[in-house]
Amino acid sequence: EYEEKTGRAHRPLSPKQNVRKNLDFEPLSTTALILEDRPANLPAKPAEEAQKHRQQYEEMVVQAKKRELKEAQKRKKQLEERCKLEDSIGNAVLTWNNEILPNWETMCCSRKVRELWWQGIPPSVRGKVWSLAIGNELNITHELYDICLSRAKEKWRSLSTGGAEVECEDAGFSAADREASLELIKLDISRTFPNLCIFQQGGPYHDTLHSILGAYTCYRPDVGYVQGMSFIAAVLILNLDTADAFIAFSNLLNKPCQMAFFRVDHGLMLTYFAAFEVFFEENLPKLFAHFKKNNLTPDIYLIDWIFTLYSKSLPLDLACRVWDVFCRDGEEFLFRTALGILKLFEDILTKMDFIHIAQFLTKLPEDLPSEEFFTSIAAIQMQSRNKKWAQVKRILIFENR
Amino acid sequence: ISRNTMPGTSLEGIHPTYIYKVVLLGSTSVGKSSLAYRYVKNDFKESLPTVGCSFFTQTLNLEAATIKFEIWDTAGQEKYHSVCHLYYRGAHAALLVYDITNKETLNRAKLWLRDLEKEFLPDEIVIGLVGNKTDLAAEREVATEEGKEFARTKGLLFMETSAKSNHQVNDIFMAIAQELLQREREKTSIPSPHGWSTVNLGESGVRTRCC
């Protein structure tokens, strides 16, 4: 019975299919083109016309064939490029794992490594490279992380049970202040990369992010939790194991620039902005003048960029590449990146007024072209009248005293 | 100051254009960004925490004038307080936002008011007190009367809003606009000692400390 059914489904070839069968090549895009004789109830085409139609049909098929061949070649090329890219990433992973990482101290500053570094660190070794480059000046151990975490957990417990006996060993920081911090952490975790859906309640990294931020407020109660930190911790969590992420987080925040910002040391922040403006004027004098004319001060856009290390304002893959070089070159690169962004959009920005520049820079386009972006950063000279970033900063700090 | 001013465009003096800087102040997570987003885009989405400041613009075509709002949406965390200080300089209006489900945020709004009072004379800035999140009525901690009464004693505009359910968000900005326009009219009818206020109908940025 089954055979009968399937047998019935096998109808004899239709005349159309017969026509097609004669063609040795059938381009997909011409499947709708059918060369047929006129139905029997109509007078037949004159031989001349039939000949002409056949010719036209063949021309169309040839054109389509050409086009499809071209497309196939393009696809092949794209595939080859992707393979090449994957190969180069694969090769880079090998180079990082087999050559650079085992000989870190001697190799990390070589020209070859610096160049490879600029290309972007392959995601599989990124965390390791960041850890090594950030270092562990604070000598934080995994045990210390556990201690800080268990303290944080105690505090959460005593808060949730409403216990008033919060230890007062961190004198000077009111219980209310710390409570606000812990509350705020909870609130901000769900607002950290919400579109990734991994840090939100129930997501795989929710507790990890909570733990690292909580442990940090116990490790550095004088700094506490400051908005923006959740983004930094989240980027580290994406690339490192929890305790290592905590170590990198604490050491990263301990760098002079990050300390100045996260303690909201206003005077020092202004010094950083002033140093930035020296290089801004040097690199982009026209845009600098335009910003001055419009009263557009660097705090308007730099605060968000520096506090979150670009992780909130750039697409995540670009932000990670900025982090790569930031880990290599230090704070200077954060300001160089800012200038790179300004340079990339210089033409648009010079046509805008204050509020539109402010709006644009605090919400950058989502489709930032990565190669152009890094070319633009590379074109920024961090040298002003023979002075480098660190020197300019030192002079300004000295003058501000 | 110059960027806050703009002479009237069409029919000078009859239909002027004013640019007003409005700054949103208040505790973290009371809904400052959401209010701005609702007002400008008429939409609601969960906002990321604001670090520093973000910016919005909105143009209002009223019968008497065209108003361009430049909205400065500031970071809420107390630690950013000294930074926000930078942002309300030169503001024409301020919205002090609190969360009706969190009493503490009203206290913070009161602190912001004290800061503004130090910086501005009463006629220099229009201040509105905004109790947000009326959609969470079940969790209310601050009675409507409490906010209203405080606003009355301090001479502030007052409204309860919900950015989420779009309750009175347009209204509070419209009230701010009307109040600013009213002040422009008063300014032009009472000549200032400098004798220039009648001329500068379109220059909202010019504020005198005299009257």
Within 334-363 of A, beta carbons closer than 8 Å to B belong to 353-356, 358-359, 362-363
Q: Kindly identify which residue of chain A lies nearest to residue B105, measuring between CA atoms.
A: A180
Please give the average per-residue pLDDT across A8-22, as a whole number.
Answer: 47
Q: How far apart are CA A349 and CA A351, in angstroms?
A: 5
Rounded mean pLDDT of A109-123? 93
Query: Which residue's structure tokens are 């390791």?
Result: A128
Q: What is the mean pLDDT of residues A268-273?
A: 96
pLDDT of the residue at B8: 45
Task: Check residue B9 and give its pLDDT.
Answer: 47
Per-residue confidence (pLDDT) for residue A27, from 0 to 100:
59
CB contact under 8 A, A227 and B77: yes
The secondary structure element, H or E, covering residue B23 is strand B17-26
Q: Which residue matches tokens 């940025």?
A: B205
Q: Residue B57 — φ and ψ, nearest 5°?
A: -130, 150
Give CA–CA dist A343/A177, Å, rounded: 41
Closest partner residue to A312 among B2, B48, B79, by Cβ?
A: B48
Contacts of B2 in chain A (CB under 8 A): 295
Task: Measure A152 CA to nearest chain B CA, in Å.
Answer: 20
- In the structure, what pLDDT confidence band is assigned to residue A90 with cuts at 50, 70 and 90? confident
Chain A, chain B: beta-carbon pairs less than 8 Å apart: 79
Question: What confidence category does residue A85 fall into, taking pLDDT thresholds of 50, 70 and 90?
Answer: confident
Residues of A in contact with B46 (CB under 8 A): 190-191, 194
pLDDT band at residue A301 using 50, 70 and 90 as cut-offs:
very high
Split chain B (211 residues) into runs of 10 and give each run's mean pLDDT: 43 79 95 96 92 94 94 91 85 97 95 94 94 96 97 96 97 97 85 45 40 36
Q: Is A145 helix (H, G, I), strand (E, B) or coil?
A: helix
pLDDT at A9: 45
Q: Which residues pair with B60 in a beta bridge?
A: B67
CA-closest candidate to residue A306, choices A260, A345, A354: A260
The superfamily in CATH containing domain B17-186 is P-loop containing nucleotide triphosphate hydrolases (3.40.50.300)
* Residue numbers of A between 158 and 217 with CB closer than 8 Å to B: 180, 184, 187-188, 190-192, 194
Confidence category of residue A88, pLDDT binned at 50, 70, 90: confident
Residue-range domain boundaries for chain B:
17-186
Cβ B161 vs Cβ B130: under 8 Å? yes
Q: A368 with A319: CB under 8 angstroms?
A: no
Looking at mean pLDDT, say which of A84-93, A143-152, A192-201 comes out highest: A143-152
- Lowest-confidence segment of A154-158, A197-201, A225-229, A273-277 by average pLDDT: A154-158
Block residue for tokens 């208040």:
B26
Give the integer Cα–Cα distance in Å for A203 and A232. Answer: 18
Pairing relationship of beta strands B66-74 and B53-61 according to DSSP bridges? antiparallel
The answer to whether the CB of B59 falls within 8 A of the CB of B22 is no
The whole-chain average pLDDT of chain A stands at 88
Question: In sequence order, what DSSP letters do the residues of B48-101 get, joined into one string?
Answer: PPP-SEEEEEEEEE-SS-EEEEEEEEE--SGGGHHHHHHHTTT-SEEEEEEETT
Mean pLDDT of A298-308: 96
Q: Are B70 and B88 in contact (CB under 8 A)?
A: no
User: What pLDDT is recorded for position A49?
Assistant: 86
Fold of A138-160+173-251: Helicase, Ruva Protein; domain 3 (1.10.8)
- Measured between alpha carbons, how far is A363 from B57 in angstroms, rounded to an integer? 13
Structure tokens at A121: 């660190």
Torsion angles phi and psi, residue B24, rounded to 5: -100, 125
Q: Which CATH code fits A258-400?
A: 1.10.472.80
Q: Can you give the pLDDT at residue A345?
A: 98
Which of A299, A356, A362 minimises the CB distance to B54?
A362
Angle at A59 between CA A53 and CA A65, to 5 degrees: 135
* E-only strand ranges, A43-97: none
Give pTM, 2 decimals.
0.81
* B-contacting residues in A 265-294 (Cβ below 8 Å): 266, 269, 294
Question: In which band, very low, low, confident or very high, does the pLDDT at A124 lie, cut at 50, 70 and 90?
Answer: very high
Q: Which two tokens stand for residue A174?
A: 């009111």
CA distances from B15 to B49, B77, B83, B116, B165 (A): 39, 40, 37, 31, 34
Nearest to A355 among B28, B49, B70 (CB): B70
A230 contacts in chain B (CB < 8 Å): 49
Residues of chain B positioned with their CB less than 8 A from the CB of A224? 79
Quick one: pLDDT at residue A177? 65
Q: In chain A, what are the domain boundaries?
A: 101-134, 138-160+173-251, 258-400
Banded model confidence at residue A230, pLDDT cuts 50, 70, 90: very high
